[in-house]
Amino acid sequence: MKSYEEINRRIEAGEAVVMTAEEIIDLVESRGAKEAAEEVDVVTTGTFGAMCSSGAFLNFGHSEPPIRMNKVWLNGVPAYTGIAAVDAYLGVTELKEEDNMHYGGAHVIEDLLSGEVIQMKATSYGTDCYPRKEIETSFTLDMLNQAYLFNPRNSLQNYAVATNSTDHILFTYMGKLLPNYGNATFSSAGQLSPLMNDPSCRTIGIGTRIFLGGAEGYVSWEGTQFSTSAPLNNGVPTRPSRSLAVVGDLKKMSTDYLRALTIHGYGISMAVGLGVPIPILDEEMAKAVAVRDEDILAPVLDYSVQSRDKKVLRDVSYAELRSGSIELFGKEVRTSSLSSYYMARQIAQELKSRIEKGEFMISRPVQPLPEDRSNKPLDIRSKEGVRV
């Protein structure tokens, strides 16, 4: 069994053997997990897709005279200010008030990364210590004191496949769904996805160093809607399961790996590039990272059913999904992905390169993620908290 320290020493010495989650599959199949574990030190993963639960904390600095920002707009997009005098959180899905569905928080973040000048307006009720009641100004990313990406839920472990049984088009966060099972959409990097390669989070926990938006980032907590109760197939959850809350320095990130998305008929999101290095500590980890698309199942759901409890029409593998079509009720249904496998591959390769150059070290989690967690629904309850 290898240690984190041993692997890092090999990285520092330029001796570490690093493979992507794609490359390790053939090695394990041809030579076995035991031999692969002895040879390979780190396996890199990647994902690049719509991650709505994303945003940035920004600190603007104090004006003269000072203002305690009660409301703030950045390029016309509201940001949340209930934190401190000149701090705000800008969510990527927040919409510009007078340009609904075309520009939002994700666009502001991408504009910041592109070096654009951002227009700010802030208002306040005024206090003795913060007398100013309004300010209009502008700034660029390098003028901010701090700007860091903080995403409460990213890199979700598996997700549903969306289709539509009705006779009309549906516009959803899973994209445009054609009538009468005309298409099916999915969103995962499958065998490259971080949490598919460490399904029980043996090596991924609080403090794990990751690739985030082109820079170094960290796992800061369990992601929202984190769950460990999903059924398994080949050791991998077949339903949405674990997720990661992540944080990183926005000033060091790149529009190559953070891009605003406009989803027609639904709203705004952001494509986030995220990669996790997985240390191959032993034979068990070598088996885990050799997971293939054909081993990973996802549920097909009818998104015309306006309920949180949609019936699973069937389970399909990611190999089937990536083939371009699946069979549903005897019909061939075209498939397409909302996440970019090409970019996921690029992220895994970039992370591999940085590790081989000694520019990216792996980190032992300071705290493991929960082993027993299930999601609770939002029910209608009385004032006494009793479900009605």
Q: Is 201 a known active-site residue?
A: no
| Segment 153-172 mean pLDDT | 97
Above 90 in pLDDT, residue 180?
Answer: yes
pLDDT of res. 98: 84
In contact, 288 and 296? CB cutoff 8 Å: no
Question: What is the domain partition of the chain in residue ranges?
Answer: 4-51+150-363, 61-144
pLDDT of res. 121: 98
The Cα–Cα gap between 139 and 7 comes to 43
Structure tokens of 112?
A: 């910041």
Above 90 in pLDDT, residue 116?
Answer: yes
pLDDT of res. 99: 74
Above 90 in pLDDT, residue 109?
Answer: yes
- On whether the pTM is more than 0.85, the answer is yes
For 279-296, write each residue's pLDDT tens digit.
999 999 999 999 999 999
Q: Taking Cα atoms as reference points, which of 144, 146, 276, 145 lies closest to residue 218?
A: 276
Catalytic residue among 1, 13, 129, 378: 129
Per-residue three-class SS string for the chain: CCCHHHHHHHHHCCCCCEEECCHHHHHHHHHCHHHHHHHCCEEECCEEEECCCCEEEEECCCCCCCECCCEEEECCEEEECCCCCCEEEEECCCECCCCCCCCEHHHHHHHHHCCCCEEEEEECCCCCCCCECEEEEEECHHHCCEEEEEEEEECCCCCCEEECCCCCCEEECCEEECCCCCEEEECCCHHHCHHHHCCCCCCCEECCEEEECCEEEEEEEECCCCCCCCCEECCEECCCCCCEEEEEEHHHCCCCCEEEEEECCCEEEEEEEEECEEECCCHHHHHHCCCCHHHCEEEEEECCCCCCCCCEEEEEEHHHHHCCEEEECCEEEEEEECCCHHHHHHHHHHHHHHHHCCCCCCCCCCEECCCCCCCCCCCCECCCCCEC
pLDDT band at 101 (very low <50, low <70, confident <90, very high): confident
The Cα–Cα gap between 377 and 358 comes to 45
pLDDT band at 100 (very low <50, low <70, confident <90, very high): confident
The Cα–Cα gap between 162 and 316 comes to 12
- Name the β-bridge partners of 134: 123
For 2-46, write each residue's pLDDT tens digit.
999 999 999 999 999 999 999 999 999 999 999 999 999 999 999
Farthest-apart Cα atoms in the chain, separation: 73
| Segment 184-193 mean pLDDT | 97
